[in-house]
Amino acid sequence: MSQTGAERITVFADYVCPFCYLGRQSLDQYQDEREEELEIDWRPFDLRSGKRGPDGEIDHSVDDGKDEEYFEQAKENVRRLQERYDAEMELELSREIDSLDAQVASYYVKEHYPYERWLAFDEAIYAALWQEGRDIGDADVLTDIAADADLDPEEIEDALDDDRLREELTEQFTTAQRQGVTGVPTFAYEGHAARGAVPPEQLRRLVEGE
């Protein structure tokens, strides 16, 4: 929750998406040139919702139309943007890692802590996966990240076991889809949007109209 009154940009994202991580690097660069903080209104999005079974687990055998050629092209695009944004990355893709628990934990922190505390946790999740190659689908990893971000690990454990919280998160995913979000990252500001890990100058045009 936020009480800062700062200007806000909405960001639809999934932690396992490399372009979401890279998009945040671009947003950080745009933030650096601003005089006033642009607060991130994070909206969770489940890229792998179409591959989840009734138990919520990802069924990797489901054909989502993405073949090896698709992933090789994705890697090339990641490398290009990594160089452009001078981003530190241990991984190029995270095909086997499930972000659902990380989104549950982040959603809990966003709803119950001041913005700065959520932002630190959010950035730590991205860093753990993309800079350190850690499995953010592992509850122990998430509680370690929480502890490093000065959050109570037991509180995060309880959040991960909260079915009501998971239902709320699923509603967030559905709402994003109803709003027309089909891919991430999607940056939205006052009725306008930019999709993908767009450069800082495009984010400036989105927010400032310049």
Half-sphere exposure of 107 (CA within 13 A, CB side): 28
pLDDT band for 1, please (50, 70, 90 cuts): very low
**39, 6 Cβ separation under 8 angstroms:** yes
Mean pLDDT of 169-197: 95
Q: Report the share of the chain in percent with pLDDT over 90.
A: 85
pLDDT, position 2: 41
Q: What is the pLDDT of residues 41-53, one digit of tens each?
A: 999 999 988 888 8
pTM of the model: 0.94
pLDDT band for 4, please (50, 70, 90 cuts): low
What are the residue boundaries of the structural domains of the chain, listed by start?
A: 7-59+68-208
pLDDT, position 141: 98
Residue 15 in this model has a pLDDT that exceeds 80: yes
Residue 191 in this model has a pLDDT that exceeds 50: yes
Residue 210 in this model has a pLDDT that exceeds 70: no
Residue 124 in this model has a pLDDT that exceeds 50: yes
Residue 111 in this model has a pLDDT that exceeds 60: yes
Residue 33's region, left for phi above 0, alpha for psi from -120 to 50, else beta, is: alpha
Q: What is the pLDDT of residues 60-72, one digit of tens each?
A: 778 888 889 999 9
Rounded (10°) CA dihedral 165, 167, 170, 171: -100
Phi, psi for 20 (deg, rounded to 5): -70, -45
Mean pLDDT of 120-128: 98
Topology of the domain comprising 7-59+68-208: Glutaredoxin (3.40.30)
pLDDT, position 62: 82
Q: What is the pLDDT of residues 29-40, one digit of tens each?
A: 999 999 999 999
**93, 48 Cβ separation under 8 angstroms:** no
Number of other CB atoms surrounding residue 83 within 10 Å: 9
